[in-house]
Structure 1
């Protein structure tokens, strides 16, 4: 039976690094909004001898995600792993100056989509699959991080509830905190940071893969 890993937010950063790290043992279903970046990821996966199914879509599109999950069921009948790295990073701003559109997009991408996807994906994982979420606890309550910090904290709170609920029954829900990485996401928050001191995404991906076993 084909081992199947769904990665939401697979086109760049840690999501892409995890797709490459997992492709030797999983068929990768890669979800992201950017088709070109997904195609580049597919090229790298093929060079490694792996296979991927590309799903260029926005995780906030409920109908598209429902269709994808139904397609996974119809084709494979199951899912072994879900890695959720998709996130919206609103610009840093004081809480009193939050832009309504940025706030709405943060909640839609980081909270609402997660609450929609868990019921879609849980039946595919069954009691033996694994879901992996990535925490970013240093931003919650930090000045200027209101939209991202609050919505990311809400996402992880939801994941922790699911984790507690399934502790004895499965699926296994993991919540890990990778080290700071020189990703485009982090560069938006810390543009003057010394990136040489950060941990490469492929190193963090390899560490996370070990925790999946």
Structure 2
């Protein structure tokens, strides 16, 4: 199969890491389906089409079970070409630029973060499984976080828990889907220059830099390069693993 035969679905792809991943995959020749809830998803897809790429957008709340269940029908005939799923959609609520401590965290906020970050990836991947296994070739990439790998002074407990859960989900999926030709892997970004990171309170990013041996924040494009690799034939023997993209801020 050529890249043009492999549709890539990227969630939370209107901006930031998701948009960079969608662009990178489009540049490699994949048709891309961009989903988000921000209202910017169509503009992101239109920009790719203006560059000659095959891109379309759908508004999708990944935590909405009915909406995700209707996704194959909404995509139509192109769904049969689905070969790559990048679960990137995620939220990390801040209050004054900082997460709430557990003692002060509303249960509703806790549930919402897990619904989007973890259950959303579960629902999207579940919907995609029939198409992926029917081809005998597929790639699922989970965008987790260094907060799932080590302690974090920036991420809230709900965000860290959801991303840790995403890693466990990926391992289970890798075990179940590997024999059917579908690999499932994770990327754990460190501090990346995204709108989410820029929403941190004054001084938090500067303090984070002190623990990064490379001395800088990463870019969405650097994460996208790794996603492109995991979505390719070159990564055919990687399954159930996590690749850290954090400039050395976490070294297992």
Structure-1-length-normalised TM-score: 0.88
- Work out the number of aligned pairs and report it: 212
8 A Cα contact 2:22 2:32, kept in partner: yes
Deviations for 1:130-167, whole angstroms, at most 9, x for unmatched residues?
Answer: 11112213356545621111122112211211112223
Residues of 2 paired with 1:117 and 1:207: CA distance? Answer: 21
Distance 1:44 1:141 in 2: 38
**Structure 1 residues 128 and 190: CA distance shift in structure 2, 3 A:** farther
After TM superposition, list the pairs within 5 Å mapping 1:121-140 onto structure 2: 121-126=128-133, 127-138=136-147
**Counterpart in 2 of 1:112?**
119
Tell me whether 22-31 or 112-121 shows the greater mean CA deviation. Answer: 112-121
Write the deviation string for residues 82-126 of structure 1: whole angstroms up to 9, x where unpaired. Answer: 011001212211111111221110121122222222221111111
Determine whether 1:180 maps to 2:191.
yes
Residue aligned with 1:167, SS? helix
Other-structure match for 1:51: 54
Cα offset for 1:2?
Answer: 3.4
Residue in structure 1 matched with residue 178 of structure 2 by the alignment: 167
Structure 1 residues 56 and 71: alpha-carbon distance in aligned structure 2, compared to 1, 3 A threshold: closer
Aligned with 1:42 (options 28, 42, 45):
45
- Alignment equivalent of 2:37, drawn from 30, 33, 40: 33
Kindly state the Cα deviation for residue 10 of structure 1 after the two structures are TM-superposed: 0.6
* Unaligned ranges ≥5, structure 1: none
> Residue 210 of structure 1 corresponds to which residue in structure 2?
229
Structure 1 residues 207 and 114, CA gap change in structure 2 (3 angstroms): closer
Aligned partner of 2:108 among 101, 104, 107: 101
Q: Tell me how far 1:38 sits from its aligned partner.
A: 1.2
**1:199 aligns with one of 207, 218, 224:** 218
Structure 1 position 84 matched with structure 2 position 87: yes
* TM, length-normalised to structure 2: 0.76
